[in-house]
Every structure is written in structure tokens, then in C-alpha cells.
Amino acid sequence: MTGNQIEALVGMLATFGLLVLMILPSVIGIVRDRRIDRRIREAREDGETRTRYGKETRSTQKSSDRSTVPSTATWYAEGRRSKKLVNS
């Protein structure tokens, strides 16, 4: 091998290494997401099986069961509106 061929080989290996380093985190994330999706799917199927055979009953949450306490953003917006009305 000549010096030019070795230099080209080192350049290609460096480029390939950088490509792998850039793609690796996304591949790891995809694998992790699929594993989590599979676990969620299995849990849902397990829950449906239990409910079908009467071993477990789930109560559905009604909208009236939710908390009626306003969020911090709503409280802040209300304060800003009242200040505008007083200043006007």
C-alpha cells in the first residue's frame, strides 16, 4: 500500500466512525421506545384479560371527578387581567 492509499483508508475509517457516533444515540432511542411500547401493549392486554374474566373491575374517571383548582397559569392570567382593568 502506498501512502496515499493508507491516508484514504484512515480518512474513510474516521468518517465511518463519526457516522456511527452520530447514528448510535438515535438507534438506542428507537430500540428503547420499542421495548417500552411492547411493555405497555402487554400490560394493556393483561388488563383486558383480567377484566374479561371478572377478576378485576376498573372504574372510569368522570370529568366531574377532576380537580377544579385552577392552575398557576390561570391564577397568573387572572391577576394580570384584573390589573389591566384597574389601570384602564
Nine cell digits for residue 73: 397559569
Domain positions in the chain are 1-57
Calpha distance 88→25 (Å, rounded): 54
Q: Residue 84 pLDDT > 60, yes or no?
A: no
Calpha distance 88→80 (Å, rounded): 12
pLDDT digits (tens, 9 = 90+) for 30-75: 999 999 999 999 998 888 776 666 555 555 556 666 666 666 666 6
